[in-house]
Structure 1
């Protein structure tokens, strides 16, 4: 598939609803268990998505589109959520994410991005030059990757319980 802003927005608009449907009302074990040391739980992942909405995607898009001579992105703290309040219900995190995402998608809409803007460049602290098209594509794929991660983490909670069916459950082998 070739990049189109509207196709990326289809994913970005739905992610909050997917998370709400998947995680709201579940027992603590489903939401807070992880895959072992130095791995993230679904709770941690939603916190990470919130951090990105606050400090990453729209800020970097605006940096690329700005008239500023400096297009260098601030480094993103991929683990910032681990320093946040860990006692909030998952529903509170999902609601915060929904509000932030809605706000960011509205901002994206009002930026009136043109086709030629997609080739404009920002400077990532690790990768160097990246285009707006790459950044927005990454935003959508980032969502999909974390949705897959959440479902994998949840599935692995029953690794031992599935017995011989494990040979048919690829999600448990990764």
Structure 2
């Protein structure tokens, strides 16, 4: 079975996100980190917490559903704000480290799950969007990372 270049290209970006955020944020004084990018937006800390939630409850769990159940089992809704209570007592540096560890684990799992291009064309059922392919899920994951990296930059 052939390994897909789409998977390799997606993984190349996804594996860099923790390093980018660590270099950008680790050890910065609190004065740099307390403001959201826009009124009512998220701080850098909120973004990292949200990315942790996505690692735990979104990308790989949904990929597993696509590959095991297809469209017969819809994805669980994703709580975009689960991080608020869960991460209340964690430092930003702890959150960055946790995100990096989780991302490494999830990319290892992704590479074990996807065997070839045919897997990327398999479908699942998103609770709001309807049918989506694993390829679309991975594309969304990469764009999600880029969007939140830009959001963190804007908050500094």
- TM-score by structure 1 length? 0.82
- Residues 113 and 10 from structure 1, CA distance in 2 versus in 1: closer, same or farther, beyond 3 angstroms? same
Larger RCO (alpha carbons 8 Å, 6+ apart): 2
Please, which runs of 5 or more residues in structure 1 have no aligned partner?
155-174
- TM-score by structure 2 length? 0.91
Alpha carbons 1:8, 1:136 under 8 Å: kept: yes
Alpha carbons 1:119, 1:132 under 8 Å: kept: yes
Aligned to 1:163: none
- What pairs with 1:13-162 in structure 2 (closer than 5 Å)? 13-35=15-37, 37-67=39-69, 70-154=72-156
Provide the rounded CA distance (Å) in 1 between the counterparts of 2:146 and 2:120: 21
Provide the rounded CA distance (Å) in 1 between the counterparts of 2:68 and 2:150: 33
The worse-fitting range, judged by mean Cα deviation, of 80-89 and 94-103 is: 80-89
The worse-fitting range, judged by mean Cα deviation, of 86-95 and 119-128 is: 86-95
Bigger radius of gyration: 1
- Residues 85 and 129 from structure 1, CA distance in 2 versus in 1: closer, same or farther, beyond 3 angstroms? same
Say how many residue pairs are matched. 152
- Residues 81 and 136 from structure 1, CA distance in 2 versus in 1: closer, same or farther, beyond 3 angstroms? same
Please, which runs of 5 or more residues in structure 2 have no aligned partner?
none
